Amino acid sequence: MHYLVAVDGSDASTSALSHAIELANALEGSLTIAYAVESRVLIDDAAGESPTNHEIGDRIYTEDTETAEERGSTVLESAAKEAAEAGIDVNTELLYGQPVEAIESHASNSAVDGVIVGHRALSGRVEGMVGSVAKGLVERAPVPVTVVK
């Protein structure tokens, strides 16, 4: 059995990785650990306080792809080390784009038996605005999706 586990460095993805390692060990399986590179929109907080609506336009910037790739590579390296230390055959993938689309596409084009993803407890309002990766994958993935709380 070969599983795709999505990580982003959050506590939820750490739990998903732990579950994936346990599952792979129990089934003598392997893992692909994936990180979706998506540049973040950030607010420069050099002033030390939240900007007013008027000021916010001058303080918003988009992180460059290289920085996002570096962050992803660091997360993947740590996750792969944990899986390898547990005796799991593991490979890593930096994916590009919106996480649901990138992970779903990779799962569709790879020989994976399932996807494992963490679940963040987002408020209904926040989830409505930004969506939920776990929910999106459950709806779109071509293979079973395990959501780990």
Task: Give every CB contact of residue 56 below 8 A, 6+ residues apart in sequence.
Answer: 43
Which pLDDT belongs to residue 105?
96
At residue 10, does pLDDT exceed 50?
yes
Which pLDDT belongs to residue 129?
36
At residue 146, does pLDDT exceed 50?
yes
State the Cα angle at 44 between 64 and 68, rounded to 5°. Answer: 25
At residue 122, does pLDDT exceed 80?
no
DSSP 77-140: HHHHHHHHHTT-EEEEEEEESSHHHHHHHHHHHTT-SEEEEE-----HHHHHHH--HHHHHHHH
Q: pLDDT tens for residues 24-76?
A: 999 999 999 999 998 665 555 555 555 555 554 555 556 678 888 999 999 99
Greatest C-alpha distance within the chain: 56
State the Cα angle at 70 between 69 and 71, rounded to 5°. Answer: 90
Selected residue with higher pLDDT from 57 and 14: 14
Which pLDDT belongs to residue 127?
40
Which pLDDT belongs to residue 149?
86
Express as a percent the part of the chain with pLDDT over 90: 61
- Hey, what CATH topology would domain 2-38+64-148 get? Rossmann fold (3.40.50)
Which pLDDT belongs to residue 124?
44
Q: pLDDT tens for residues 100-113?
A: 999 999 999 999 99
Q: For residue 113, what is the DSSP state?
A: S
